[in-house]
Structure 1
Amino acid sequence: MIRIVSLLWLLLLSMTNSLAYAEDPFIKIGVLSHRGDTFTLNSWGPTARYLTNKLPDYDFEIIPLDFDEVDSAVKNDEVDFILVNPGIYVNLEYKYRVSRLGTMYNLRGDDAYKVFGGVIFTRKDREDIQTLEDLHGKSFMAVDATSLGGFQMAWRELQAKGINPYEDFSKLEFGGIHDHVVRSVINGEIDAGTVRTDILERMSNTAGLDLTQVRIINPQTDSNFPFRLSTRLYPEWPFSKLQKTSDELAKKVALALFAMPKEHPAALAGKYAVWDLPLDYQQVHELFQELRLPPYDQIGKFTVKDVVKKYWYWGVAAAIVLLGMGVITSAVVRRNKRLKRIQLRMERHYERLLDSVGDGIYGVDLNGNCTFANKATENITGWKTAQLVGNNQHTILHHSHADGTHYPVEECPVYKTTNDSLPRFIDDDIFWKADGSTISVEYSCTPIKGPRNTTIGSAVVFRDITQRELVKKKTIEHQLQLFHVARLSTLGEMASGIAHELNQPLTVINNYSRACIRMLGSKDSTDESMQDQCSEVMEKISKQAERAGAVIKQIRHFVNKDLPDKKPVKVSEMLDVVLELTHMEIERKMVTLQLDIDDSVEWVLAQDTQIEQVIINLVRNAVEAMEDTPEGQRNLIIKTENQQDGKLKISISDSGSGIDKEVVEQLFDPFITTKEQGMGLGLSISQGIIETHDDKIIIEDNVEGGVCFSFKLPIVKSPKIEKENNIRKTKNKEVA
């Protein structure tokens, strides 16, 4: 006897080692597809990904199996693990020696259940069906002949009432999946049916089933079981390994399942709470014995003595296996406790780490739902973590633009990062707070990688920049005020020239007016020639008045404080304003002005008053720089040139003595000047204006002496042409 036990032990060890060496990294888990393949993949796919994440040396895959596919899949070793109802498991255990590793505890609401049963039902309006006996001669539908909760449990109760489903029903059909059975009964296609417990409640929550339309036949009550029930209760589904699967791998998988947290996404998807040690399935054996179902279909009277006599060696093997399982179970329990402690410490560590960061941080899965959020996210947005986790982040934080218009999810940077795995940084956007207000934020989106370097979501790190934006806005306002003061200062410096410009037409108007008075007061005032002369003088007076009005108009335009945003402006009109306000100073300083205008460019995108301010400042600097240059050699050139890169270059050149290289490096700093009376703010302000137009003023030496100041502005089409093009495009779309 001892020798035989030793041989069996050596045989088991050799089988385990041989299987371990032949281990395949691609592990298949067969799952009974009792509600359809799509439902099975959606429910159990996350569990496979969880195992892949926990055991990175393996790649787990869910294989949905119909009722008639399970036996062949196990027989032909097409899967490594199997998850089926207890009835099918009992047969697989008997025929192929599959071994259960653990039992699934179903999650319903916040509670876990390790047992389930069957429910027999009909339509509420079927007054002729009240009890099991009333089903005699009626049509009946079950899920499958091998479905424990969907047929065999109900069969046992019917048999107890003297009803044989295969003989006493007018028609017995099998729907294949639970949902089809329920719909067939509700639609009146079948008189009554049976499914496993909690299916009716699930369909009420997800498929719109009205439970008031359903009557439960042979209702049972259990204070610890809240679902509609017609049968006795039996243990839940076991997770089992095939004989070919190594014990080492089975141990790793069992440890990983036992260590899964109760509210892990995989558990929530599979609608289960936890995995625990395998339960006793003796109740299922008793059901099969009573119904004479395999593996008890051929068994007659068989005593315990007969069992010992015929199968004593299996008893020895079972004792060895149980001993081994006891050792494994003990190790699993100890490891499970240790892993839970480690996991708890790690979760607390990561939680403290995230909460210590001042920036908001939250995670997003592939469906756009928030997976975690730190304390700063709550403080900044006002949304509680419980409100964010599990819900779509775009719908909560990012649903609309600042003007209230809809923000399509396809344009959301977080959505794009999750889909194309490219990191992004957004420097100016808004998030919506819980109180309905908005905050300005800058944020980054970084893809989160999973097994095989695939993207499983993204992490968002954001910062509230509302105060920074307010400071920026105030800075811009102060800058505009400074620009306005600078224009007033420039106008004050040109006051004498402008006064002379206005004095000329006013003097002419005065002289012509007196001449008209004298002519009208003479004796010949009625003469026709005298009237013609008066009309001619009046015409001249009108032109001089228009000239004076034009000067005043340009002055009012130049000192305007409330400036519009950048828009398409004509280059020629800006230069006209500049020359109108500076030509007296140019003429007075005996400077020769040369205009070299590129006629191919008419319009640029700019704030015209600010650009006029810059050009006037550069022109006046150029004129003043040539005061020591001999008369006749004072040349001022204003030039525009198309750069063929979508920009117009505007340059102001002089023939003065130039600027020292040491001064050039500091020329645009505030309070740096080469003038005796200057404050050194003109060029600094001018540089600030050009920078708001996305460019800088460049200083270059002229070959023939002097310097050249230049900058660039974006070229745009004529607003009239652009409007016509838009109208034409709109008409083309309407025709199409």
Structure 2
Amino acid sequence: MLCARSSFPNISDSANIAQRESRIMTTRPLYRWFYLCIVLLLALPSGLFANGVSSSQEQVRIGVLAKRGEEKTYARWDATAIYLGQKLPGYHFEILPLDFDEIHAAVENRRVEFVLANSAFYVDLEVRYGVSRLATLKNRHGEDSFTVFAGTIIARADRSDIRTLGDLRGKHFTAVDERSFGGFHMAWRELSEAGIDPYRDFSQLDMAGTHDAVVYRVLDRLADAGTVRSDTLERMTREGNIDLAQLRVLAPRSNPNFPFLHSTRLYPEWPFARVRGVSDALAQQVAIALLEMPEESEVARISDTRGWTIPHEYQPVHDCLKALRISPYQDYGQVSTWGAIRRLWRWALFGAILLTFGTLSTLFLMRLNRKLTDSRAALASAHQGLEDQVARRTRELEVSNRQLTQEITEHQRAEAALSEERTKLELITSNLGAGFAVISRDYRTLMANKVIKDIFGEVEGQTCYQCYNQRDSVCPDCGVRKIFEEGLEFSTHEQCGYDAQGKEIWSQIIATPLRDESGEVRAAIEVVVPITERKRAEQELRNALQEAEEARERVDNIVKSVINGLIVTDISGTIISINRVASEMLNVSGEQVIGTKAEELFSVHGLTQEFSAFLETAKMDSISWEFELPAKEAGSVKVYQAWASAMRNQQGGVTGRVVVILDVTKDRELTRLKDSFISMAAHELHTPLTAIIGYSELLLEAEQNDSPIGEHRKDFLQEILDKGMFLSRMVDELLDVSRIESGQTTPLQLRAANLFELLEKTVNRYRQFSPGHRFVLKGSGAEQSCPQIDAERIVQVLENLFGNAIKYSPGGGDVEVSLSHSDGNCLVSVKDAGIGMTEEEVARVFDRFYRSENVDPTVRGLGLGMCIARQIITSHGGQIWVESRPEEGTKVSFTLPMEQSRQHE
């Protein structure tokens, strides 16, 4: 439908408002309480779960222009009302959604104490009913906030015939409402300046009721073009309701400090205003509470804002309404008779004076011309004329006096109103928790509140950079400079300055322009928020985080350096840490398994249930669990033992599990070898004992029965002696092993001895013992070597080496024995041409009870010889090592120092 030009309504439906008020506490939608619960949870310590409004609380209503409908208004602003109730415990705040037709009646009839509406409604209410602004809304956009907004004129992107404002002539245009500032008035002003009258030049002009409805009508081709508030397109795109690529913005403007798509000038955001009659104390408390609302608070997030700021200058809104000649400026430009008199009375007075002067001059000339003929008549006439002039002049002066008195009265009223506003401003700024100052264009402080003076002393009349930073020039990052030189509408930054005592102090500086009626920036407003404590807390936090990081690194290094596997899980069994040893044991990547269930580490090995049961038992006590996993070498396994214990916090609560995994493969192998050794030792002991017992029984029987044994008696005794000596050597070896296990050194009887002669005697004895092997002895110039040694112990080592060379060379061959000097040591080497050993066997040749699996089982031995040999050589201060390859023989070498200490004597 076509809309006729109109101004804001002066009369609204009071019945609708009363009906809306009656259902505020009774019939609100259920989903609205979802938002309220978030804020109510924050208020638990304050007891806000009490039912209803306390009888001691005064109810305060906030009328809100419901531009997107009643329910969305509740959802957005109820949290703010609850926030104000928390800040002002003596009051209970309620939101009263009002449409365009209801807001005037609500203010006029005092049904609300505060009002939140668009900027045009505020200007109209200010002029008509004397409402006054307390704060300006900071609109949220991501991490930024904006206190200005604009209008956006849109058309479908596929309409090639609509690209400029001039193309809208004769088109169907839709807006939000005739009384919507962002949804119609801003665009109307731009269209008017482009030569387009919406009521005359459009084929059809209709109102959709809401901003979203305007966008949908344009997209659905129900209108050719439309206008909405500046952030509507971005919000609907973010909500997923529209595709922004389907729309075109007409006459787009750009502003580096305003990111939204817009086509019009920028105007200040919605103000929060008080209605005339509300007490100054309540208004002051509400203003302070709004200004103190944190930007990232839950209340600000629910209202889709970043809180509130000091009230802006709304002169641009006045200029817009004047240009459109709509309420309250519908009569703007028309001059009344009384107005003409007020404007031109000085010129009228000046004209009257001129007229009087001309008349007097004329009369004076007439009097001179008639003086000779009728002096008396002329005198009488002049006297009568003078009386008439005096009377007329008196009347004119009375009129002038009345006008002057009226002007003086109006001027006094204006000064009283200005004084009242100044008092209110000083009262508000003095109770702010931040500093407040007005800075002139030459950077001098015109006014400062108590907070500024307490910190920086008396600053009025001084430059801001001298007072705050003790500088001789403007600060490089000064927000006031950006306001003056770059034309910014808002600037904020942090800076380090000095207080009156020269102490360093950190502040957050917020600067906004202060404009005169023409919109020219005359000064700047600075809000100074002390943040020294916050900076100190941030530094302490950084230090604490650094210390925590260093502690974590130390713990990580400790965990990584642990030689056993280590797995740490949370209470649910999820892995939060695993060291390198455990990763290698389980053949997994530590980075990949973090965040997975610990049971999954064992699932590939089929041990999931066993590990889960192990962890479950560990909830009560520390336990162990032994399991086997395939080793890297094909066909072999590794035996592991896991220990688990609960990880507890300072209160004793279980927060997770710590699992330590030990590789016990060698321990189990040593146990197996010990068991094998016991069996073998029993066999080795049994054979000579049987012989000793047998020969002893024969000798005893012969002695008892006088049986002749003759020449066999000596053989029997020799056999008993040999078997006894064999048992004695075996017992000595076991005692040596016992000393090794207990950490004791082998006792030595050190004497100077010719090592070559000792080798030669031992070699000669073994040449007779094993004629199938050819022993070769080489001196290499070391025949006279006489180190301090225990000869018996060295012979024990040589016998073990020669015996091994014979045992592992079953086919005979050469056994090369050499003696040489090397770096102050005697070097002895025994090399055979036997079956040799693998690298794995060489690595274990000095282990207790170890015997190669490739050894002929008929070859006797306990697996202790090489272990004892190493202990004897190291006790002499020397070293022993083995070099061997399969089928290439084995070479065993050891060193003995020429200068032997006497610690073992």
- Report TM bin, short chain: 0.3 to 0.5
User: Which structure is higher in RCO with an 8 Å CA cutoff and minimum separation 6?
Assistant: 1
TM-score relative to the length of structure 2: 0.36
TM-score relative to the length of structure 1: 0.44
In terms of Rg, which structure is larger?
2
